[in-house]
Amino acid sequence: MDQSNVMKKNGRFYFAMVLHVLEGMLSGCNFMVLYLSIRALLEDTLNTKLLFTLTGTLALIFVVRLIIYSIGYTQGQIGGAEVSKHIRLFLGDKIKKIPLSRFTKAQTGEYINVVTSDVNNYESILTHKSGDIIKNIALSLSLIFFVSTVYLPAGLILLVVYLMLIPALWFSFRSVKKYGNEKNQILADNVSNIVEYITGIQTFRSYGIGGTKNKTVTDSMGAYSNISYQYEKKVIPIGVSYNIIVWCSLPAMVLVAGNAWVSGLLDTATFIMVSVLPIFASKLAGTIFIDLTSYKNLMISKRKINKVIFEEEEPESTVPFMPKNKDVCFEDVWFSYVENEPVLTGVSFTAENEELTAIVGDSGSGKSTILNLISKYYKPQSGKICIGGIPITEIASEKVLELISMVDQDVFLFNDTIKNNIRYARPSATDIEIIQACKLANCDAFIRKLEKGYDTPIGENGSQLSGGERQRLSIARAILKNSPILLLDEATASLDIENELAVKDAIRNLLKEKKTVIMIAHTLSIVQNANKIVVVSNGRIIEQGPHEELLQKQGKYYSMWKAEEELAV
């Protein structure tokens, strides 16, 4: 679907709006019939025939309104839901095309908000607010027209009542623009913090910082509470002031109409009718003010949806990406997450085809960032990254990731069965291939001990499994995918001895196939047999070469090796 047509309203919606206008006008006809009834009563012309005629007219108006309302409401619901369906489907497809670097913590909260509450808000505009507003405006115009025909000064008073909506809404919309946008931004941050908090609740509680002690979440909730209060504090007084002004139309109408009645310029029936109508008109004007303010607030959601709809996408490269070999080369790569705070500074190295390259260095030196750049989770600010001599900057992420299998220290698993979690690596894989991958990953044994074996649901993010079991499932995925490039990011970190040995054994099975392997390791003994070891410090590569060669240089790597030997003693 074309971006410009995603939010385009359909025929059902416009048909529903026409019916809402008709219903509003018919609602105004009730007052005309009521006026004729009062007039006939006071002029002593009310008889059984006229009474039945007027009653029948009201019944007919009611039946016609009921039919129009039923059709209009149904068509509005279907039409609005159809628009929101197209929006949701488009956003689901759009998110797959947004650069992976956009999915930071803050951005994730915004995307969650857009595809959930913002789409729901916009659907509410289409299915409820628009119809209510246009119906009430049509009814208001009918009242003004009717009252003006029976007594023009009274009609002018009602006209002033509704014209006062313009300045009231101007002030209201200013507050919505200022505080509504801020409220939405804080809400997005709040969602991100809550998702992070709930995901990490076990860790928080293990350190005794669950509940109110989690300052980030409580501050975020406090900020949302404060902005909500400020928002209401600014908008409510405007609405109250407007209501006070419009309700003054009641004594004004009684005064104007009463003087005309005393002077004999107005009959009793008209006096009664125009004196009572401001009560209804004032309530109706207040409802329109509230609905339009709410409409303006909900339209913030439309702008946020549009922002995602027109967000820059990854370029769709039509150039086939089929490198002859799978070496990975960095050429003077510079990268920073935050402007003017470089994480990598002029990084250059080559991970040779079908060889093991290890990356070591202090925590925070930029090791994981290198893997993130290879995977196209981020783009470098300058420099070039090539696979098989082909720069990957303009190649679609999916094409690059087809060549890569990853094993992270943070494993993400779906709330699904073990079998399906592994099959995500290669949807066409057979059950036999999945079982074989699990055997090589050292997880077949523990899987078979489970009550339902491979069909066991593992909970959200694999919550029913241990860290080592989750890590082995991640390795099984990598084995099943069988990509020519393998990235290992401290896969044995944070594991107990038993699980670490099982994972190391699984990694050995993974490395049996000829692949280009880039491994980050916190234990140097694991990587001493690597073809090349790249030493990173403060975002720079300060040494690279085989283990023995680096020891002879007696530089950073030598110091790290000696320190590890001392710890082992």
List the strands of the sheet with 344-351, edge to edge: 344-351, 328-335, 382-387, 390-391
Amino acid at 310: F
What's residue 510's pLDDT? 67
* Residue 73 three-state SS: helix
Q: How far apart are CA 503 and CA 495, in angstroms?
A: 9
Rounded to 5 degrees, φ, ψ at 305 are: -65, -45
The DSSP bridge partners found for residue 452 are none
Between CA 332 and CA 481 the distance in angstroms is 31
Below-50 pLDDT ranges, the chain: 213
Which CATH code fits 326-403+526-569? 3.40.50.300
Distance CA 480, CA 172 (A): 59
Strands ordered across the beta sheet of 485-489: 404-407, 485-489, 516-520, 356-361, 532-537, 540-545
- Rounded distance, CA 170 to CA 432, Å? 67
Q: Distance between CA 371 and CA 100 in Å, rounded?
A: 14
Question: Contact at 8 Å (CB) between 188 and 109?
Answer: yes
CA atoms within 13 Å, Cβ hemisphere of 351: 29
Q: How far apart (Å, rounded) are the C-alpha atoms in residues 558 and 569?
A: 17
pLDDT for 262 equals: 92
Q: Which residues contact 257 (CB under 8 A, 6 or more apart)?
A: 151, 153, 154, 266, 270, 271, 274, 275
CATH top-level class of 3-309:
mainly alpha
- In angstroms, the Cα distances linking 519 to 306, 368, 502 are 41, 10, 17
| pLDDT recorded at residue 60 | 94
| Cα–Cα distance measured from residue 157 to residue 139, given in angstroms and rounded to the nearest whole number | 16
Structure tokens at 510: 């993974």
pLDDT of residue 451: 83
The single residue listed with the structure tokens 């946008």 is: 181
CB 273 within 8 A of CB 253: no
Boundaries of every domain in the chain: 3-309, 326-403+526-569
Task: Dihedral sign for Cα 358, 361, 363, 369, please.
Answer: negative
